[in-house]
Amino acid sequence: MNNPFSLAGRRALVTGANTGIGQAIAIGLAQAGAYVICAGRRPSDETLLEIEKLGGEATNLSVDFSDPMAGQTLFADQDIDILINNAGIIRRNDAVEFTEDDWDAVMDVNLKALFFTTQAFAKAVLTRGGQGAVVNIASLLSFQGGIRVPSYSASKHGVAGLTKLLANEWAEKGINVNAVAPGYIETNNTQALREDPARSQAILDRIPAGHWGAPSDIAGAAVYLCTPAAAYVHGAVLNVDGGWLAR
């Protein structure tokens, strides 16, 4: 019997794979047997090195997702089976001071680029009659409002909604669309929170696990959603949050 958790022979594209959650997912996919394409504005040389150390295969692909349409041509000349939409940015300010530029910058990367990149992926998969898996990186702020991050919260609510909509349209066509919602993870995006002692302690006090998560904590969930073991999972938003939302 074939291993339902193996990704041997599959090709995956991970956006924003140079650091943090994207890097951890790229490494996890490679460990499961996938060939990994690390797409982003910055080279993912460190990620590639870690994958090579593990005996896996990966390559860099330069794409700047601040252009929401930059992903439209990524799938035209290569058969990619898995898309991980991880690239994202965050801007912080009080709602009454928030600028249009900060709103547009976040929405362009976190939501508009995600949709049009996924659209291009699906067109390629459907054209060749293949099977595909999409995993979007959502957030606890797909369910909650947050503080001082209006465009980020709006974009992540949108990611959860798009995940369900695309699953509804593509499930019967052989494309699984799901999302992972990370809790408070030690990444660049949460550095400001971790450096604020009062805010960090308030967060820790609510996490049943008692600690911030690591990027590697997200990798297993994302990889699982790409495997045959998750073949009947469609439109799920899987919380990986140390129990935050259960509190």
244: its two tokens:
């935050």
Contacts of 142 (CB under 8 A, 6+ apart): 156, 157, 159, 160, 179, 181, 237
Marked catalytic residue, from 152, 184, 224, 232: 152
Q: Fill in the amino acid letter for 52.
A: E
Strands across the sheet with 175-182, in order?
Answer: 58-62, 35-40, 11-15, 82-85, 132-137, 175-182, 237-240
232 is catalytic: no
Alpha carbons within 13 angstroms on the beta-carbon side of residue 110 total 29
CA 208 – CA 212 distance, rounded (Å): 10
160-to-3, 27, 209 alpha-carbon distances in Å? 30, 24, 24
The residues annotated as belonging to the active site are 152
